[in-house]
A and B are shown apart, each in its own frame.
Chain A
Amino acid sequence: MIPVDYYIILSAILFTIGVLGVLVRRNALIIFMSIELMLNAANLAIVAFGSVFESFSGQIFVFFVIAVAAAEVAVGLALIVEIFRSKRSIDVDQVSSLKG
């Protein structure tokens, strides 16, 4: 028997590491991976809650989240490739052309 709190705390830790990655790293690909990590942490929390309440809605919601994440990755990586083609870099500090 594992108390569900452990899963929630683990999910909070993983989410925090993802936030830290977005805040600290300047590589657009690493920032993107950190976002995936945060999505995963949220999924873990949802499945843990669903498992406690013995409901399938949690698992179905996670299924949708995974599908949306796949769509997000396809568009996001295409955008990163485009930025690399025009800037020759994926450093997010370089993408400041729109700054007033």
Chain B
Amino acid sequence: MTLDLALFLLLALIAIASALGMLISRNTVYSALYLVLNFVTVAVFYLLLSAPFIAMVQITVYAGAIMVLFLFVIMLLGAEGLPKSEVLPWQKPLAIGLSVLLFAEAAYLLVTKSRPVGNVLPPAEAVNATENLQQLGIALFRDYLLPFEVVSILLLVAMVGAIVLTKKERKARQ
């Protein structure tokens, strides 16, 4: 077993365990922290896949901004632990069965039907942070300029939407 493969298996184990921890944990804060761990392991996968810029974006935007927003809302609402509501008894087994079915389907289709040929290049040969960033920037501003502008408008709309959503409540209370 090469070092690459050992590292991959270890990280995959951490990613799956932290995702399951997010799912199972009763305390919402613990769930959020498990999810941060999961995002960081996915960022390391991006480094292994020779995408250093995406890895850094993953850490700053996902593990940084988005999860801090989540934790902020959890603590603002005081929603660390919810009282257990009555659950449908057949819901959990049915959900697990359907998920296993979904996984089997997805794995079968992805591995047999749309199987890409070849291996992932080891990062030592391919990765070069500066070159990656340069090429990404050129592609982003030459071939994908319109989507880039559309995304900036989308972010503006989301910002205005979030402000409007919270402002209406304040007016109604007065």
Contacts between chains A and B (CB distance < 8 A), count: 227
A18 to B4: give the CA distance in the assembly, Å. 27
Could you say which interface size class chain A belongs to? 35 or more
A98 within 8 A of B: no
Q: Closest residue of chain A to B45, judged by CB?
A: A44
A69 to B39: give the CA distance in the assembly, Å. 13
A75 to B164: give the CA distance in the assembly, Å. 10
Point out the residue from B23, B103, B120 that lies within 8 Å of A24, measured CB to CB: B23
Q: How far is the CB of A99 from chain B (nearest CB, A)?
A: 15
Could you say which interface size class chain B belongs to? 35 or more
B10 within 8 A of A: no
Q: Is the interface of A mostly helix, strand, loop or mixed?
A: helix
**Contact A63-B154, Cβ < 8 Å, known A5-B111, A12-B106, A93-B85:** no
When the two chains form their complex, are residues A59 and B151 in contact, meaning their CB atoms are under 8 A apart?
no
Cβ contacts under 8 Å, B15 to chain A? 10, 14
Cβ contacts under 8 Å, A94 to chain B? 85
When the two chains form their complex, are residues A20 and B23 in contact, meaning their CB atoms are under 8 A apart?
yes
When the two chains form their complex, are residues A63 and B54 in contact, meaning their CB atoms are under 8 A apart?
yes
When the two chains form their complex, are residues A78 and B166 in contact, meaning their CB atoms are under 8 A apart?
yes
Point out the residue from B46, B100, B111, B116 that lies within 8 Å of A9, measured CB to CB: B111
The B-contacting residues of A in range 6-39, CB under 8 angstroms, are: 6-10, 12-21, 23-27, 29-30, 32-34, 36-37
When the two chains form their complex, are residues A73 and B69 in contact, meaning their CB atoms are under 8 A apart?
yes
When the two chains form their complex, are residues B35 and A2 in contact, meaning their CB atoms are under 8 A apart?
no
A sample of 19 inter-chain contacts (CB < 8 A) reads: A1-B2, A2-B120, A4-B120, A9-B111, A13-B103, A14-B19, A16-B100, A30-B28, A33-B32, A36-B66, A50-B51, A52-B118, A54-B121, A62-B51, A64-B151, A67-B155, A78-B166, A81-B76, A81-B166
Query: Which of A's residues lie within 8 Å of B, judged by CB?
Result: 1-10, 12-21, 23-27, 29-30, 32-34, 36-37, 40, 43-45, 47-54, 56-57, 59-60, 62-64, 66-75, 77-82, 84-85, 89-91, 93-94
